[in-house]
């Protein structure tokens, strides 16, 4: 948390901080109890510590090619219901690293696509 907060503060030195982009890792997929409550508390803490109570929060799903990802992605999809001024980008259609469906990581092309999805979502929310 402190490392991410420090990076956000450094980014804010270059101008107005517009949002937080959060790519969920796979470590939470087997322990989903309390996930949304903990994430909500973290976002609230970030917003509070940065003095930006309405700072945009955009989360991304983890790879959809593994059955074990379905529950955490279902919860990620509910983030806008639980956290104000938030949104979610989908991992649908993205591919695993080296075609290995046991690997939760995205391949290079999928990382670029995911980055585009984040950019489009942030722009849509901030400037529509």
From first to last of its 128 residues, the chain has per-residue pLDDT tens of 999 999 999 999 999 999 999 998 877 667 788 899 999 999 999 999 999 999 999 999 999 998 888 899 999 999 999 999 999 999 999 999 999 998 889 999 999 999 999 999 999 999 98
CA distance 49 to 4: 11
Q: Per-residue DSSP letters for 25-68? A: -GGGTT--TTHHHHHHHHHHHHHHHHT-TT-EEEEEPPPTTSGG
The phi, psi pair for 34, rounded to 5°, reads: 80, 5
CA angle 17, 21, 128 (to 5 degrees): 70
pTM of the model: 0.91
């Amino acid at each position: 948390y402190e490392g991410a907060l420090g990076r956000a503060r450094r980014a804010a030195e270059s101008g107005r901080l517009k949002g937080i982009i959060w790519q969920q890792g796979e470590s939470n997929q087997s322990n989903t109890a309390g996930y949304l409550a903990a994430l909500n508390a973290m976002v609230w803490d970030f917003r509070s510590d940065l003095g930006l109570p309405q700072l945009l929060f955009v989360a991304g799903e983890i790879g959809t090619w593994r059955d074990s990802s379905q529950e955490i992605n279902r919860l990620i999809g509910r983030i806008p219901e639980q956290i104000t001024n938030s949104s979610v980008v989908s991992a649908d259609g993205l591919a695993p690293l080296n075609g290995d469906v046991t690997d939760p990581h995205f391949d290079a092309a999928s990382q670029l696509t995911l980055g585009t999805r984040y950019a489009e979502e942030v722009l849509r929310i901030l400037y529509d």
